[in-house]
Structure 1
Amino acid sequence: MKTVAFHTLGCKLNYSETSTLSRMLETDGFVKKDFEEEADVYVINTCSVTENADKECRQIVRRIQRRAPEAMVVITGCYAQLKPKEIAEIEGVDLVLGAAEKFNLARHLQDLTKGNQDKVHACEIEEVSGFHSSYSINDRTRTFLKVQDGCDYNCSFCTIPLARGHSRSDSITGVLANVQELARTGTKEIVLTGINLGDFGKGTDGGKKREESFYELVQALDEVDGIERFRISSIEPNLLTDEVIEFVAQSKKFMPHFHIPLQSGSNTILGAMRRRYRRELYADRVAKIKTLMPHCCIGVDVIVGFPGEGETEFKETFDFLHDIDVSYLHVFTYSERANTLAIDMKPVVPVHIRQERNKVLRNLSYQKMQYFSSLHTGQTRKVLFESAEKNGMMDGYTDNYIKVQTHFRNEWVNQLIDWKL
């Protein structure tokens, strides 16, 4: 029996896909090993949002070479779709699977031999049209369920449409089937994930075009027995409708927690980024949420150092984020990506200034989360504790995403506990 080990770079969507690939190989007779152990096959599911993800992939391959020089190394994911030939030239890589071939991993491994010359299996991204549902299980307490893939937006900094293809979705019926299966495994919380989650609904059934909506999906999920919590992972502000916000506000199962990408608080930069909204719409969405759910946690994605971001534009972003009622920030430092419009934009922000701005906003994020948490001191909220034990401690999250840490108690794993903050 062959052994296989997986490593995931990037987003929650990648984690859900890696978990599904792992189950597929286990069904095919492979034995799963920890990535730090010696295995016959190593699979790296890559991201390519930043240059660091590319470098990290190369470093991991070198580590595998030192640990298990005879092992097969397979690269899949976004980096594999964007730069398959470049990856195939990395010493030690035996197989590169693009977006259309990722879920055919088991079949490819049947014929794979070390030093195989036919390494690359990737097609043009326009040819990728199918949707393959996936979810994580047994890897984390919270399950990440992929309901949508691809993106029809063309933001000037982003390679994801080139790596993932057009927007397409599972059907509501398909999502419900997966959720019911997860409920049978004892899953307590499901995080809905996608590349452009709010665009859920595009797809085909038997060759016929299917049109459903994200609002219809959340309505259907709220009626499922056996799942205690749902979270919406990340949703574009222009797709976060009043009806979705109002539904979450009265839902017993959807948590008061939104993650809404902003990217910049400057309308000038948002225009250059080719985003489909301006800061005024973003502020309106936050105000709507907070009016209905003052206790709601709101996370923000923001990019610093985009071409043309001078001191004035960065101050606009800082002031906007400082004043608006959000809870934490995910701060990304802009990095140039081939085949994007932004790569030719001027003026270029020096790297050291990008890094300084990243630190400024990460500090602001810390202050925001401390303040948001302090508003709930003394309250009792339900915490779902996770399975991982770290130095005798365990972590959990409230409904509104405040992190709680306490001494590890096995009987609390995957349980909802009333906790006084």
Structure 2
Amino acid sequence: MNKKVAFYTLGCKLNFSETSTIARSFEGEGFDRVDFSEKADIYVINTCSVTENADKRFKTIVKQAQKSNSDAFVAAVGCYAQLKPEQLAAVDGVDLVLGATEKFKITDYLNDLTKNDRGEVHSCEIEDADFYVGSYAIGDRTRAFLKVQDGCDYKCTYCTIPLARGISRSDTLQNVLQNATEIAAKNIKEIVLTGVNIGDYGKGEFGNKKHEHTFLDLVKALDEIEGIHRLRISSIEPNLLKNETIDFVSKSNSFVPHFHIPLQSGSDAILKLMRRRYLSNLYVDRVSQIRRAMPHACIGVDVIVGFPGETDEHFLETYHFLNELDISYLHVFTYSERDNTLAAEMEDVVPKNIRNKRSKMLRGLSVKKRRAFYESQIGSVRTVLFEGENKSGYIHGFTENYVKVKAPWNPELINQLHKVELTRIDEDGLVRFKFVPEKVLA
């Protein structure tokens, strides 16, 4: 019988795309993939270090694996494995820890699956992570996460990603297009572009610093791929989101009117402490440019609260800035100290209870913003891509501009695109609709 392997992914879409690539390498070696809740011979945990919670959850996930099979071999890969390999290796039940350059070669380390008294570490100096491994993840039948870029050359004072993933580097355009074509052949309707800093695409193909292609070149080339109905840009820095890209998306065949743009703070003083590469006026300009080109676009925002030095005045500046900005929702992060970052050494630390209070205020604002955006879409005709999960008797889907809709469960709708008219907002905040008299589009 083939040995069984199970995977657990913490963190971002990029991690999910890389887990899928690692999983395919196991399948190529004759392993059978099973769900993480099932009994397996090997459990692979792809870690994240962006928030404090991701660190803490690791031990819980290891215990979950041991509960399913106490004799199973447990391996840790990913960002936390690069940053704190010895710490992970010391967790009871962990047998192998692989750093940034080793994670894609995991099957080379599995000749002997005997349990170890302490985890074996194979990590590298992050400077050695100067090569690129392409990935894509097929999480369900409707969408795929396609990795186009890795690493980051920015030096934001709160962030460990450059320490965990190395320099900014990109896939070749040819390889991205080949992966996109493979995804299209699987009847997947939507591709989400992922990376650490995807607007930096084109830099460092295979570790060099030649700019072979720009992000705009990538977007234009992907728009020509047949069989992909939707392309979505997951997250892009405001200083790298150029007018040309916004204008192209507004007229493109496949790119949807949805942008997720990290802000982090609406206070210029805090942006400078964070060493972000823009100030608030540039952010306003990006939002205005999108609204001019695509009035119905969905715009999501990342924001961090409780950064060292953030006074009540700074926070209120951020709150009012976001309240007045024509955006659609927020992803709110409560600042947490990360080792080996400049921010962790800064003075004027904000007490955790105040961080939590500010976070709660912005999450409330996000609910208000999303509601207002959904209300602005009532009466409009949109295209919905329906998802595959039955949630309490309902099927859900997203419009091209990221309005979440619901309807009574109907398996025939799964992975189908339908024209609908948005009619009302339900008690749970999701949108109801009626079908526009037209056959399935695809």
| Range into which the TM-score falls when normalised by the shorter chain | over 0.9
Indicate if the aligned counterparts of 2:132 and 2:206 stay in contact, CA closer than 8 A: no
Alignment of structure 1 residues 10-409 onto 2, 5 Å: 10-115=11-116, 119-139=120-140, 141-204=142-205, 209-409=210-410
The answer as to whether partners of 1:171 and 1:203 remain within 8 angstroms in 2 is no
Deviation track 1:296-331 (CA, whole Å, cap 9, x = no partner) reads 000000000000111000000000000000000000
Amino acid at match of 1:384: L
In 1, Cα distance between equivalents of 2:211 and 2:71: 47
Matched residues in 1 for 2:39 and 2:356: separation? 37
* Inter-partner Cα distance in structure 2 for 1:162 and 1:96: 16
d(CA) in 2 for partners of 1:218, 1:60: 37
Q: Quick check: 2:141–2:188 contact (8 Å CA) kept in 1?
A: no
- 1:193 positional shift: 0.4
The count of residues paired between Structure 1 and Structure 2 equals: 421
Q: CA deviation at 1:206?
A: 11
Shift of 1:140: 5.4
Bigger drift between 49-58 and 116-125 goes to: 116-125
1:118/1:38 Cα in 2 relative to 1: closer, same or farther (>3 Å)?
closer
Helix, strand or coil for the counterpart of 1:7?
Answer: strand
Distance 1:99 1:185, change over 3 A: same
CA distance in 1, matches of 2:239, 2:284: 11
Could you tell me which runs of 5 or more consecutive residues in structure 1 were left unpaired when the two chains were aligned: none
**What is the rounded CA distance, in whole Å, between the counterparts of 1:51 and 1:138 in structure 2?**
25
Bigger mean CA offset, 200-209 vs 314-323: 200-209
* Separation in 2, partners of 1:9, 1:61: 12
Q: Is the partner of 1:60 in helix, strand or coil?
A: helix
Distance across 2 between alignment mates of 1:77 and 1:240: 28
State the identity %. Answer: 59
Summarize deviations over 1:128-163 as a string: whole Å, max 9, x none: 111111111153521100000000000000000000
Q: Is the 8 A contact 2:131 2:206 kept in 1?
A: no
Q: Deviations over 1:139-195 (max 9, x none)?
A: 352110000000000000000000000000001111100011111111110000010
Residue-by-residue CA offset, 1:227-285 (whole Å, 9 max, x unaligned): 00000000000000010011111112100000000000000000000000000000000
Looking at structure 2, the residues matched to 226 and 211 of structure 1 have their Cα atoms a distance apart, in angstroms, of: 26
Tell me if structure 1 keeps the 8 A contact 2:76–2:98.
yes
Residue 393 of structure 1 and its aligned partner are, at CA, apart by 1.6
CA distance 1:36–1:256, shift in 2 (3 Å): same
Measured after TM superposition, the shift of residue 67 of structure 1 is 2.9
- Taking the aligned partners of 1:392 and 1:18, their CA distance within structure 2 comes to 30
- Verify the 8 A CA contact 1:19 1:139 in the aligned structure 2: no
Q: What is the CA distance between 1:124 and its match in structure 2?
A: 0.4
> In 2 relative to 1, CA 184–371 (structure 1 residues): closer, same or farther, beyond 3 Å?
same
CA distance in structure 1 between the partners assigned to 2:207 and 2:165 by the alignment: 22
Change (3 A) 1:288 1:208: closer
Rate the CA distance shift 1:51–1:140 in 2: closer, same or farther, 3 A.
Answer: farther
Whether the 8 Å contact between 2:130 and 2:207 is mirrored in structure 1 is no
Q: Which amino acid aligns with 1:226?
A: G
- What is the CA–CA distance in structure 2 between the aligned matches of 1:285 and 1:210, rounded to whole Å? 24
Q: Which amino acid aligns with 1:245?
A: I
Partner amino acid for 2:260?
H
Q: Distance in 2 between matches of 1:2 and 1:59?
A: 24
Deviations 1:113-137, CA, capped at 9 Å, x for gaps: 2116671011000011111111111
Q: Which runs of 4+ in 1 moved over 6 A?
A: 205-208
Distance 1:417 1:156, change over 3 A: same
8 Å Cα contact 1:16-1:136 kept in structure 2: yes
Instruction: Output the CA distance in 1 between the equivalents of 2:237 and 2:272.
Output: 15
Mapped to 2, the partners of 1:293 and 1:204 lie a distance apart of 32
2:385 counterpart SS class? strand
Give 2:269's aligned amino acid: T
Match for residue 430 of structure 2? none
Q: Is the 8 A contact 1:190 1:231 kept in 2?
A: yes
Q: CA deviation at 1:211?
A: 2.4
The offset of 1:112, in angstroms, is: 3.4
**Separation of aligned partners in 1, 2:412 and 2:391:** 16
SS in 1 for 2:317: helix
Per-residue displacement from partner, 1:356-402 (whole Å, max 9, x unpaired)? Answer: 11110001001100100111111121000111222222211000000
CA distance in 1, matches of 2:251, 2:372: 25
For structure 2, the 5+ residue unaligned runs are 423-442
User: Alignment RMSD, CA only?
Assistant: 1.4
